[in-house]
């Protein structure tokens, strides 16, 4: 499963919240983030800052749960 390129609710550990606080970012436990990509290290989230979007790594060690809508199905028929 690939979960990049979508808005996801991320539940963050207390240590993760401390890290976010150190970066002067929202340190809420439950965050709605745009996940641009993921890799072995963790989640790469797009975070708007004063000078534009930044990419922030949230390590998997700090992620307790993820929740996102899978989305609707859109169908068309091109031939009978």
Partner 1 sequence: MEIAVQGWRSSPAEWDAVRGIPEEELPSLTNEQREVARKLGIPEQDYARSVLAGRRTQDVLLQKTQALAVFVENRIARDHPQVRVTRVVLDVVEHRFTVELEFGGKPRILRVDEDIVDDYFDGGSVDAEAKLARIFDRAVLGVTA
Rounded CA-CA distance 67/43 in Å is 13
**Closest CB to partner 1 among residues 14, 67:** 67
CB burial string 5-19: b at 16+ within 10 A, e below: eeebebebeeebbeb
Nearer to partner 1, 13 or 46 (CB): 46
Q: Which of residues 12-71 bind partner 1 (CB under 8 A)?
A: 28, 30, 32, 34, 36, 46, 48, 53, 67, 69-71
Instruction: Enumerate the β-bridge partners of residue 56.
Output: 45
Smallest gap from Cβ 25 to partner 1, in A, equals 16
What 8-state DSSP symbol labels residue 7?
E
Among 22, 40, 50, 74, binds partner 1 (CB under 8 A): 74
**68 and 58 Cβ atoms separated by less than 8 Å:** no
Q: Which residues bind partner 1 (CB under 8 A)?
A: 1-7, 9, 28, 30, 32, 34, 36, 46, 48, 53, 67, 69-79
């Amino acid at each position: 499963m690939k979960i990049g390129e979508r808005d996801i609710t991320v539940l963050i550990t207390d240590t993760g919240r401390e890290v976010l606080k150190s970066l002067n970012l929202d340190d809420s436990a439950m965050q709605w983030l745009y996940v641009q990509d993921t890799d072995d290290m963790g989640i790469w989230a797009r975070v708007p800052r004063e000078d534009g979007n930044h990419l922030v790594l949230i390590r998997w060690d700090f992620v307790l749960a993820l929740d996102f809508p899978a989305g609707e199905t859109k169908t068309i028929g091109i031939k009978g």
